[in-house]
Each structure stands twice: as C-alpha cells, then as structure tokens.
Structure 1
Amino acid sequence: MSDISVRPSRSMLRQREIPGESGLWVFLFGDMAIFLVFFASYLVERARDPLLFQASRQSFGLTLGLVNTIILLTSSLLVVMAVNAARAGAKAIAVRALWAALFCGATFVTLKCVEYTHLISAGNGPGSNHYFTYFFILTGLHLMHVLIGFGTLGIMIAKARQPGEITSRNLSTLQSCACYWHLVDLLWMVIFPLLYLLG
C-alpha cells in the first residue's frame, strides 16, 4: 500500500495564518496581562467590602455605560468590514467604514467625559472610596487605549487611501491596527460587567 502525501492548499494555509505582525501579539498579550492584574486586584478589594462596592455601583445609572458598549461593538464591526473591504479591493468602502469607526470612538470618549463630569460633580471622584478609585483607574486606562486607537484608525485610513491595489504589507498593517482596536473593545467587554453590573 502506497503512502499518499496530502499537502494543504494555499487557501487552507491562508485561513490558518494569524492576522497582523507577530510582534504585535506580544504587545497585546502583555497589555492584557497588565489589565488582568488590575482586574484581580479589583475583585480582591471588592471581596473585602462587597456592600461598599455594591452601594457605590448603585449610586449612578447604567445608561451611559450600556450606550458606550453598543458604540464600541459597532466600531469593532465597522473595522472588520473595513479590513474585509480592503482585502476585496473595495478601498472606498473601507475608508468610509473606518471613518465611521473613528466617529464611534469619538462618541465613546465624549460620553465617557460626560460620565466623569456627572460622577465628580456628585462627589464620586477617584478618591471618594475604593470602588471609584478602581472605576477611574480602569476606565481611565481604557480611555487612554481608545485615544491611542484613534492613531491606529488614522493609519488604517491612510493605508486604505493609498493609490493602487492594497499590497500584502499594507494589508498586514491594516490587520495589525484592527487587532489593536479589537483589544480595546475586548477590554471594555470585561470592564463593563465588572464595574457596571457586578459592582
């Protein structure tokens, strides 16, 4: 009986490759590890005084947090659409989707600033108690990542607007920037239930 060697097709290999630059994933996992330390510290502190954390959580509404969650999910979907459009050569669609994602990010930042203003004016600033200390640290770090994400979206727009076809190098850059933006959304998907629902 003869052995039959089966080689994976080029399309199969393309499906298996990890999007973006390999070095980027080292940065992303390192960034997530830092947030995991903060998440664990928050849960430990909450376990020490659950009543304080619950009362602090109930002192403000969920509306802004929920709206911001929907906004970030929408922005992530738009970034996926942009990368797929760029891959298909539909650069105009990719650029429009990226501008829409950037608008979502700007809306998120605006609503977060409104929320901060309401909390501080109500006496719930970063130093009011342990819950709000963690609230401002976690959401503040995340907000900083969103602002950095504006730069990555700007890079994506610039690459998508370059004349000619999308090169493999430019597509890799688009994927890397998209991965960073998805990390921003993923972090919020943990922060939102941790701070707004669990309390």
Structure 2
Amino acid sequence: MRAACPPLPAPRTPPTLAGDLAIWIFILAELLAFGVFFIAYAFARANNPELFAAEQLALNRDAGAINTLLLLTASYFVVRAVHAAEAGQSRHGARWLVAALGCAAGFVAIKIGEYAAAFSAGISLSSSTFHMFYLSLTFFHFMHVLLGMVILGALWLNARRGLYGPHNMNGIESGAAYWHMVDLVWLILFPLVYVIR
C-alpha cells in the first residue's frame, strides 16, 4: 500500500505594494527633499555648533515631545482604520480616522502656538542660521501635516460611505502611506532640531 503524498503547498502570492505606485513615487520625492534639508542642516550645525546649541535651548522641547506623541498616536489610529477596512468594517474605520484628524489638529494648534511665540520674540528667517533652518524645516513639515489632514478628511468621507473593503483598499492604503511618511519625517526632525546638541 502506497503512502499518501502530502498535499502540495498553495502557491505563494508575491507581496504587493500597499496603495498606489504614484503615491510611493511622491513619498520618495518628498523624502529626498527632506533629506537634502537635513544634510544642509547638519553641515551648517557642524560649522557653528555653539550658536546652534545656544539657540536650540530656546525651543519648547515639551511642545515638540507632545507633538511627537500626537503624530505617533495619529499613525496608530490610521493603522486601525486600515485594519477595519480590510475586515470589511469601513464605517468603523471612519471613527479611527476622526481620531487621527483630532491628533493632527492638536499638532497644528501646538505648532501655531510655537510660531506665534517665536514671531512675538522677534524671531524670523533672517534672525540666524539656526532660526532659518528651524522655521524652514518645521514649516515645510507643517504644510505636509495640513495636506495629510486633507487626505485623512477625504478618507473619512469615503470610509463613512462604506467605500473601502477587502477588495478596495488602494485609496485608504495610499492615504495611510502618506500619513506615515509625515510621521517618519517628524521622528527625524524632532530629535535633530529640538534635542541633539
């Protein structure tokens, strides 16, 4: 009597890129732009470490740390929204997107407060090399957060309508990828500009 052959394993499906290819090209271009900014900042800092260290002390590190927590929490909520859509619970995912938008709004409010304090103290792009980099880098990121909020808002509208599901994940995955890029950039920007001396 012949022994039964074990069943052949199911063919593996190759991994696919989450979201649309166009969003990944856009993300890579944005990361390249931020990378150039970060390298320029590092060179400027290396040429004048005393000035950078002294002016860094005036920054509100608590505000920066709270903003880091807000962005990380928003990313967690976005992940939960994607998982809800994968499970066919798009409308439930919409609630997670509202929570992510709330965290993003908190980031924006704190950043505006930081800018208001800096401008009231007479700080501008021409105040010093450090302030030029601080304002340029953080404002460039700030604009990406605002765009991210627009994207999250569009995802929320679509999720409320039940448009996302296991067979229609492209939109929500693309939006989530963009938001995680915004988060990643801040995780580099915050220690670089606020913390490292």
Q: TM-score, normalised by structure 2?
A: 0.91
Q: CA RMSD in A?
A: 1.8
Q: 1:190 to 1:78 in 2, by over 3 A?
A: same
Structure 2 CA distance for aligned equivalents of residues 130 and 165 of structure 1 = 46
Q: 1:164 to 1:54 in 2, by over 3 A?
A: closer
Q: Sequence identity of aligned pairs in percent? A: 37
1:69 equivalent in structure 2? 68
Unaligned ranges ≥5, structure 1: none
Structure 1 CA distance for aligned equivalents of residues 151 and 195 of structure 2 = 30
Regions of 4+ moved over 3 Å = none
1:92-131 to structure 2, matched below 5 A, reads 92-131=91-130
SS at match of 2:126: coil
Q: 1:81 to 1:165 in 2, by over 3 A?
A: closer
Deviation at 1:168, TM superposition (A): 2.6
8 Å CA contact 1:160–1:166 kept in 2: the answer is: no
Query: Is 1:145 aligned to 2:144, yes or no?
Result: yes
Structure 2 CA distance for aligned equivalents of residues 176 and 192 of structure 1 = 25
Normalized per residue, which structure has more helix? Answer: 1
1:191 equivalent in structure 2? 189
1:1-199 to structure 2, matched below 5 A, reads 8-10=11-13, 13=14, 16-163=15-162, 166=165, 168-169=167-168, 171-199=169-197
Unaligned ranges ≥5, structure 2: 1-7
* AA matched with 1:8: P
* AA matched with 2:173: Q
Structure 1 CA distance for aligned equivalents of residues 66 and 138 of structure 2 = 15
8 Å CA contact 2:85–2:166 kept in 1: the answer is: no
* AA matched with 1:103: G
Structure 1 CA distance for aligned equivalents of residues 163 and 153 of structure 2 = 19
Q: TM-score, normalised by structure 1?
A: 0.90
Q: 1:111-151 deviations in whole A, cap 9, x for unaligned?
A: 00001111222233222100010001000000000111111
Q: 1:97 to 1:163 in 2, by over 3 A?
A: closer
8 Å CA contact 2:108–2:142 kept in 1: the answer is: yes
Deviation at 1:179, TM superposition (A): 0.2
8 Å CA contact 2:59–2:194 kept in 1: the answer is: no
Structure 2 CA distance for aligned equivalents of residues 154 and 82 of structure 1 = 13
2:3 equivalent in structure 1? none
* AA matched with 2:182: V
Deviation at 1:7, TM superposition (A): 5.6
* AA matched with 2:137: L
Structure 2 CA distance for aligned equivalents of residues 26 and 40 of structure 1 = 21
